[in-house]
Structure 1
Amino acid sequence: MGDGESSSGGQPLSPAARLFHAPRINCYIIAFMGCKTKINPDVVKAGLEQTLLKHPRFSSKLVVDCGKKKWRRTTVNLEDHVIIPDLDPEVDFPDQFLEDYISNLTRNPMDLSKPLWELHLLNMKTSDAEAVGVFRIHHSMGDGASLVSLLLACTRKTSDPEAVPSVPVKKRAGSTNSGGFWWLFIAVWSGLRLIWNTLVDMLVFMATIVFLKDTKTPIKGSPGVELNTKKFVHGTVNLDDIKLVKNALNMTINDVILGITQAGLSRYLNRKYDLGAKQGESNIPKNIRLRTAILVNLRPTAGIQDLADMMAKGSRTRWGNLIGYILLPFSIALQEDPLDYVRQAKATIDRKKLSLEAILTFVCAELVLRIFGVKVAAAITHRILFNTTMAVSSLIGPLEEISFYGHPMAYLAPSVYGHPQALTLHFQHYSEKMTIALAVDPNVIPDPHQLCDDLQESLKLIKDAVLKEELIKDVV
């Protein structure tokens, strides 16, 4: 980290990084790591010295040089970043204490005079862990997928302490080029659909910026929601249950995840409206407009091995935020057949896959940033997010159990806060489990555990429907 670099020069922030420092889009990524053993702070600090501190972002602070924001390398004092609160080991209701502790973190911005990350180590037994580590990282340091991958690159397989975790690799779709007239017809038809879907999506996107708002529901935030304290809860489901539905209905895990989300929200809102309908009948008003904003990182995420090599050997790898948007509508209603939730979700996602919405929204955002500056870009981003209801994301995780600097992990639950929405859902795969992490504004959603239960119950109902209809065909 040479002195010359500490005193002069530096790397300019990317346009997206500058956007995340705008007052109304000041976002942070937060990641909970439940451990199966007590955490040894000295071991963790030694591990950070050998890994995370070798990444340029984690050893650089934000400076303003001639009016431009830059990352400048600096010497990191781990005592300023690894926070070990003095806890009462006999505290009553430890789960509630943990939620309150993390919620209080969202009240305080980070100190810009040092690198924008911190790790809280809480040696306190909760219902699903012996201790918990909590990373808080400013979103300007990278996109969520890259930062979680970087954290995973600091871990090792519990069964092999020298090996980095292995993650599933997405299979490329096979070519359907069989030659002849029908292939040409399908290619032309797909091209026409791509153009039409993109045109419609961009018109809706522009309308959302100008006037098109989601329906005011019990989960829709009010003005200033981005400034409110957030609350974080999580639950765990069996990944095999999701795979069972996926294989039975010939769809992807993301299709099932969004179907579960659609079903869980419908159950929760039906209870919230409670208009006095008879048992089993819907309380939900018709024609609710409820959309989720999905932020898509257009830069391929570096592999865990690549990131581990970068920290160990100083090799180079791609890094940074290249973010586009997808606005995904949910159908909010009680369905007689639970499988309709996932079938509807798959149809919506399949249509979005045949659109250039994410790429064009990224290009438009870049143009606005370069021509009109950060303030205008932040105002537009704020309107898009505020005029929709929520955000959803999902990440692939390790196939096997892993250890964080020798501490076996029970779960991983990342999330985000600081954007103008009252609800964010994140699905994180880890080993044979899927963690559902919720970030909510408790002024809007005072009972996030109930919503989490509804999501878990929805998966159970969908799985039971698959078994009842005997749709399973040699599910692996």
Structure 2
Amino acid sequence: MEFMEGSEPVSPTGQYFNNSVLSVSIICVLESEVPINDAHSISLLNDVFLPINPRFSSVMVTDEKGDKQWKRVEVKVEDHVNVPIFPAGLSPTSYDEYLDDYLSNMAMDRLPQNKPLWEIHIFKYPTSNAAGNVIFKLHHSLGDGYSLMGALLSCLQRADNPSAPLTLPSRPNSEPKSDNRSAWTRVPQIFRLIFYSLSDFGWSMLKSTLVEDDQSPIRSEDEGAEYRPITISTMTFSLDRIKHIKDKLRTLTTNDVITGIIFLGTRLYMQEISHKSSKAHSTALVLLNTRMIRTYKSVKEMVEPDSESPWGNRFAFLHVSIPKFKDAESLDPLEFVWEAHKIIKRKRSSFGLHLTSRLLEIMKKFRGPEATAKYIHGTLRKSSMSISNMVGPAEKVALANHPIKGLYFMTVGPPQNLTITIVSYMGNVRVTAGIEKGFLDPQKFKSCMENAFEMMLKAASIETLI
């Protein structure tokens, strides 16, 4: 490597996600409407992608004090671009299998440490969903989903009018309500806050060290799940229909409904595989963006020193118990939505996340980043699944004049048998499941998710009539 001047300290989270214990990356797939012409890919990466952030031109090194630093290097873009070759003239379903195997192999391979931690893969063969696929693989130490989605948006243009600015997606943020009650009447609320904060913090510690989820059809208890091949399965739901459910139930958010659908679909799958597992104790790690702002900012704004939406890894894990089937015959699908809403709302408002963050800082200071990474590894391994959600573009976008038909992403490298990701795009919600091959049944899992969605729609309509 030829080093250049300038370095930047690696954030603690960046160190936790890139070491001998844990290596987590994000795979993002853009489905092209037209056959891919990669003639200008190198110039596009040099002129548009690399200038987004210095980390795309940096490697992680250890300085003389033992601290991790991002060190700038000369980048040979050609070394980061991969164009796989497969037999020509096959059917789209055959290329579906090639793409699935290719993504599975990509998920298992760690990014090399001797060059910047990203790759581009151009799959030029027509599949059932697209005329071609452009695949980004970016290491999680470069930034979280918020940062990397912002970087992706910087590379895209509006498909209908490339010269017009791309509408940056946002999520509504309710204003805090003023509390005119006296200090005395707020005492019970303060005590509840303290109790829930300590309870959430204590439960998080137990779940990361001693208490494991039950073995179930979605959790094998075997070590080394991060090293085994996966199948990436996607399903698409109408955002308008999800909002219809939300509106019928009032007071809830779109994320509450989506999370409830995933919880219900997961329990349906578990019960189909093993009836007794419908009572198994299973926990989902729900990733929460801890930035105060909920609107995407431009990359230029993210890298400003005092940015309110800074680049980097700013997220936390919420331990959310997947509701159990109380009585299969009198099952109310909406209970899964209400339960998800209640737990997530309460945990977001407590100080448990801040206490856990402080614990990780203390652990890193006295025991080092590797020991802290082992703690996070335990947090992931002892739970049954993780769920992360991103808001994508509301309008059709294009990459280098290639209209994007659909997009999805997957987090790879966590020691779990099941990972769920969600992204919205053009009025649809794409739910993607990273499923360990040979352990979960991807077709049955997808069918259960679709059944859960239909059950939720039907139940919401009945609730309205009542």
Answering whether residue 218 of structure 2 is matched by residue 219 of structure 1, we say yes
* Structure 2 residue identity aligned to 1:146: S
Residue 55 (structure 2) aligned to one of 40, 54, 57: 57
* Structure 1 residue identity aligned to 2:352: E
SS state at 1:284 partner: helix
Answering whether residue 268 of structure 2 is matched by residue 267 of structure 1, we say yes
Counterpart in the other structure of 2:287: 295
Cα distance, 1:170–1:227 mapped onto 2, change above 3 Å: same
SS state at 1:51 partner: helix
Counterpart in the other structure of 1:276: none
* Structure 2 residue identity aligned to 1:202: F
Cα distance, 1:297–1:337 mapped onto 2, change above 3 Å: closer
CA deviation map 1:66-86 (0-9, x unaligned): 243321112222211121122
* Structure 1 residue identity aligned to 2:46: E
Compute the displacement of 1:249 (Å): 0.5
SS state at 1:149 partner: helix
Counterpart in the other structure of 2:38: 41
Instruction: Name the count of aligned residue pairs.
Output: 456
User: Greater shift after overlay, 336-345 or 31-40?
Assistant: 336-345
User: Greater shift after overlay, 15-24 or 314-323?
Assistant: 314-323
Cα distance, 1:448–1:197 mapped onto 2, change above 3 Å: same
Tell me, in whole angstroms, the C-alpha distance in 1 between the residues paired with 2:36 and 2:349: 47
Cα distance, 1:315–1:195 mapped onto 2, change above 3 Å: closer
| Match runs of 1:47-446 below 5 Å | 47-54=44-51, 55-66=53-64, 67-92=66-91, 93-177=94-178, 179-180=180-181, 187-221=186-220, 222-250=222-250, 251-273=252-274, 283-285=275-277, 287-299=279-291, 304-307=296-299, 318-333=310-325, 334=328, 336-445=331-440
Say if 1:262 and 1:332, in contact at 8 Å, map to a contact too: no
Tell me, in whole angstroms, the C-alpha distance in 1 between the residues paired with 2:245 and 2:332: 14
Cα distance, 1:402–1:309 mapped onto 2, change above 3 Å: farther
Compute the displacement of 1:439 (Å): 1.0
CA deviation map 1:136-162 (0-9, x unaligned): 111111112211221122111112212
Say if 2:169 and 2:296, in contact at 8 Å, map to a contact too: no
Tell me, in whole angstroms, the C-alpha distance in 1 between the residues paired with 2:39 and 2:285: 40
Cα distance, 1:315–1:373 mapped onto 2, change above 3 Å: closer
Cα distance, 1:423–1:286 mapped onto 2, change above 3 Å: closer
Say if 1:103 and 1:230, in contact at 8 Å, map to a contact too: yes
Cα distance, 1:374–1:460 mapped onto 2, change above 3 Å: same
Compute the displacement of 1:441 (Å): 1.5
Tell me, in whole angstroms, the C-alpha distance in 2 between the residues paired with 1:24 and 1:164: 42
Q: TM-score normalised to the size of structure 2?
A: 0.91
Say if 2:173 and 2:294, in contact at 8 Å, map to a contact too: no
Tell me, in whole angstroms, the C-alpha distance in 1 between the residues paired with 2:184 and 2:402: 56
Say if 1:302 and 1:318, in contact at 8 Å, map to a contact too: no
Answering whether residue 457 of structure 2 is matched by residue 463 of structure 1, we say yes
User: Greater shift after overlay, 239-248 or 317-326?
Assistant: 317-326
Cα distance, 1:180–1:285 mapped onto 2, change above 3 Å: closer
Say if 1:33 and 1:409, in contact at 8 Å, map to a contact too: yes
Compute the displacement of 1:8 (Å): 5.0
Say if 2:108 and 2:413, in contact at 8 Å, map to a contact too: no
Cα distance, 1:212–1:229 mapped onto 2, change above 3 Å: same
Say if 1:145 and 1:301, in contact at 8 Å, map to a contact too: no
Tell me, in whole angstroms, the C-alpha distance in 2 between the residues paired with 1:149 and 1:332: 37
Tell me, in whole angstroms, the C-alpha distance in 1 between the residues paired with 2:139 and 2:194: 37
Say if 1:143 and 1:321, in contact at 8 Å, map to a contact too: yes
Identity %: 29
Say if 2:216 and 2:277, in contact at 8 Å, map to a contact too: no
Structure 2's unaligned 5+ residue stretches are none
Say if 2:320 and 2:340, in contact at 8 Å, map to a contact too: no
Residue 29 (structure 2) aligned to one of 32, 43, 51: 32
CA deviation map 1:278-309 (0-9, x unaligned): xxxxx234642111112334345796552167
Tell me, in whole angstroms, the C-alpha distance in 2 between the residues paired with 1:99 and 1:190: 51
User: Greater shift after overlay, 328-337 or 453-462?
Assistant: 328-337
* Structure 2 residue identity aligned to 1:436: V
Tell me, in whole angstroms, the C-alpha distance in 1 between the residues paired with 2:305 and 2:176: 38
Counterpart in the other structure of 1:277: none
User: Greater shift after overlay, 185-194 or 77-86?
Assistant: 185-194
Q: TM-score normalised to the size of structure 1?
A: 0.89
Tell me, in whole angstroms, the C-alpha distance in 1 between the residues paired with 2:333 and 2:364: 44
SS state at 2:234 partner: strand
Cα distance, 1:448–1:164 mapped onto 2, change above 3 Å: farther
Say if 1:248 and 1:471, in contact at 8 Å, map to a contact too: no
Tell me, in whole angstroms, the C-alpha distance in 2 between the residues paired with 1:116 and 1:203: 35
Compute the displacement of 1:231 (Å): 2.2
Cα distance, 1:153–1:186 mapped onto 2, change above 3 Å: farther
SS state at 1:371 partner: helix
CA deviation map 1:9-55 (0-9, x unaligned): 52121111111122231111111111111122123333222221102
Tell me, in whole angstroms, the C-alpha distance in 2 between the residues paired with 1:310 and 1:79: 28
Counterpart in the other structure of 2:448: 454
